[in-house]
Amino acid sequence: MKEIMTPREAAEYLSVHVRTIYRLAKNGDIPGRKVGGSWRFKKGALDQWLSWREDPFSDGKVYKERFQGSK
């Protein structure tokens, strides 16, 4: 798997529909960046995001503060 993934590749990697990836990215719920108008995702960041999601004590707020800063 490539280190930098397109939304389709990220969806395949996470076993979700590509629309889910776009929705999560747009809402800031998944780590990704727009590059030239297209979303890109780092495999390592997705792995780390999954680890946070598996933590039953995490409500998502810690993830957003750590990876996105306060909004």
Instruction: Tell me which fold the domain 4-68 belongs to.
Output: Multidrug-efflux Transporter Regulator; Chain: A; Domain 2 (1.10.1660)
pTM confidence score: 0.73
pLDDT tens for 1-43 read: 789 999 999 999 999 999 999 999 999 999 999 999 999 999 9
Look at the chain and count its residues.
71
CB count, 10 Å around CB of 29? 15
pLDDT in tens, 46-64: 999 988 866 656 555 555 5
Report pLDDT for 20.
97
Contact 37, 55 (CB under 8 A): no
